[in-house]
Structure formats: C-alpha cells, structure tokens
Amino acid sequence: MTTITPEATTTQVYHVFIRATPERIWNAITKPEFTEQYFHGVRMELRDGRRWSSLTDGRAWDEAIIEEDPPHRLVHEWLSGYDPELAAEEPSRVTWQIEPRGDGMCLLTVVHDRLEGAPKTAGSVAGEGWMFVLSNLKTFLETGRPLT
Amino acid sequence: MSAPAATASTYQVYQVFIRATPEAIWEAITDPRFTERYFYGTRMEVTAERRRVFSPEDPTMTGDDPVFEYDPPRRLVHGWRSKWNPEMAAEEPSRVTWEIEPRDDGTCLLTLVHDQLEGAPKTAEGVAGPGWMFVLSGLKTLLETGEPLA
C-alpha cells in the first residue's frame, strides 16, 4: 500500500504524453471498441449530443456532451453510472484536450472539475483513478494491447 | 488553445502505472544508460549517498544532490536543484521522492512527489504538470516498448 495519497480536490488535472496522432487518441476515447479495452471494460460512444456508456452486465448511463471538436477537444458531463452511491451525486464535468507536440507525440490533458456536488466521485477518481485509465490508454495506443 | 495550467503547488504528486517489475523501474531511474533515454538526455548516477547528473550534450545540465533514502527497488528520496536554469538554480533546494509499488497483475504504480518547494517557486512552476509528466511518460514508454518516447 502506498504511503502517499493525492488530495481529492474539486478541480483535478492529469497529463500524459502519448506516441500517437491526435486522430488515434480521439478515436481511442470516443469509440466503444477501443474504450472497452482500457476504461474498466466500459463501452463509450458519442451519439445525438450525448456520451453513452455501457457495461456487459447491463449497467448503462449517459451524459450530455458540452463541446465536441475532433480531434482536439471533448467536454462532457460526468456521472458515475457504474456505482449507485456515486451516481446519486450531482453531475461533474470532464474535459479532454489533445495537443500535438512534434515527434509524433501528443500531450493529453484531462481536467475533471465542478466536483463540488460530488465528493465521493472526487475521492474515487482522484490520483490512481484517472491515472490508471490514462496509463492504460497510453499503453494500449503504444503497444497495441492494454496494460492488464 | 493551451491546456489549463496545473497549479504550481509546493507539494506536487504524479502517478503512472507501468508494465514492468520494480527492479526494472529502479534500474531505469538510477542507471545513466536508461536515464539518458528519457530524462532530457541527462545521465544520472544514483548511489546511496549522492545523485549525480551529467549531460554529454549540454554542460549546463549538471547536478550533484544528496540522497536521503535509498531502498531498492521501492523507494528513493533525493534533493533537487534545477541547475539548467540560472534563475531556478539560485532558489533553495527542494526534494523528490520516488515510490514503486508492485501490483498483483504484473504492473507497478510509480508515484513521484516533488515537495519542500516553498523556497523554489520558479522551479515549482517549471516542473509542474507536463514538466514531470513528460519524464514519467517517457520512462513508461521506454520500459514498455524498449524505445524512447521522443
């Protein structure tokens, strides 16, 4: 068990550099056949102004898309539909930003904010929560298979 | 459009999951043959006493900082001074902690804490967010693919 625990704040910012084009990263975060490989098995797709999430056990939920600018920027509501206790909290917001940084590399920035009304969600996604997803996404794009 | 800036706090925490053994990660952060492939080309030699930094390409990229804790392959704590930038180099030293935690699935969680930055505000800003995450992203790519990120 780690002795270091990052603080669960109401604005959380995560960065990762990935060897991939903006288009490949965009597809990996918006196409269900990719998200299910690294995002805890959740299939996610963008349709009719909403982001639809589903798991093979039948759990499903959807969130409003606030901004969609492929392949650089996606902003959507966040509801923790995978967990009834977290799902009862107020919606928060997630921003994905993809910036090319030369050498075939991009900087992916995820901001999870407006978490004031969702303290349990804030605690659950903090630190390891988001960094597991982003580490897994990076490994998937760079090696062709997920981390675990 | 630029990304939102991370707050340059005096206690910064970065985490990344890596598909590698603790021993491989330890070697990658303490052996100059590895560090020069992801840490801005710098060769870092770490012993139980000192962490020495040297760059064959750039003579300003040098450093020699004390090692406070040396517990291979789990935990390394050392001093930090940003010698490559005169303004930052004039600031007070800060501290960096590397913690390697193996998981059951063949991965490790690497946590890096850069703290005691109260006397080094420019360094705090320089290393924040993408600064450290460029290094940790490069380390992960090197260990998982055998090739540097950039």
Do the Cβ atoms of B111 and A2 come within 8 Å? yes
Give me the interface pTM, i.e. the ipTM.
Answer: 0.93
Residues of chain B with pLDDT under 70: 1-7
| Type of residue numbered A9 | T
Q: Where are the alpha helices (DSSP H) in chain A?
A: 22-30, 32-38, 84-87, 119-125, 128-143
CATH number of A12-25+65-143: 3.30.530.20
End-to-end CA separation in angstroms for chain B: 23
Contacts of A95 in chain B (CB under 8 A): 4
Q: What is the CA radius of gyration of chain A?
A: 15
User: In what helix (H) or strand (E) does residue B25 lie, and over which residues does it extend?
Assistant: helix B22-30
A108 closest CA partner among A31, A16, A26: A16
Do the Cβ atoms of B149 and A73 come within 8 Å? no
Instruction: Assess B114–A contact: CB distance below 8 Å, yes or no.
Output: no
Q: How far is B131 from chain A (nearest CA, A)?
A: 9
Q: How many residues does chain A have?
A: 148
Instruction: Assess A57–B contact: CB distance below 8 Å, yes or no.
Output: no
pLDDT digits (tens, 9 = 90+) for A93-130: 999 999 999 989 999 999 999 999 999 999 999 989 99
pLDDT digits (tens, 9 = 90+) for A6-64: 667 999 999 999 999 999 999 999 999 999 999 999 999 999 999 999 999 999 999 99
CATH number of B12-145: 3.30.530.20
Which residue of A3, A16, A143 is in closest CB contact with B137? A16
pLDDT of residue B56: 82
Instruction: Assess B107–A contact: CB distance below 8 Å, yes or no.
Output: yes
pLDDT of residue A5: 56
User: In what helix (H) or strand (E) does residue B70 lie, and over which residues does it extend?
Assistant: strand B63-71
pLDDT of residue B4: 42
* Neighbour tally for A137: CB within 10 Å: 25
B24 phi/psi in degrees, rounded to 5? -65, -40
Sheet containing A43-47, strands listed edge to edge, beginning at the edge strand earlier in sequence: A12-18, A106-113, A92-100, A73-78, A60-69, A50-54, A43-47
How many CA atoms does the CB half-sphere of B115 hold within 13 Å? 11
Letter string b/e over residues B43-74, b meaning 16 or more CB atoms within 10 A of that residue's CB: bbebeeeebebbbeeeeebebebebeeeeebe
Where in chain A are the domains? 12-25+65-143
Cis peptide before B32 (omega within 30 of 0): no
pTM: 0.93
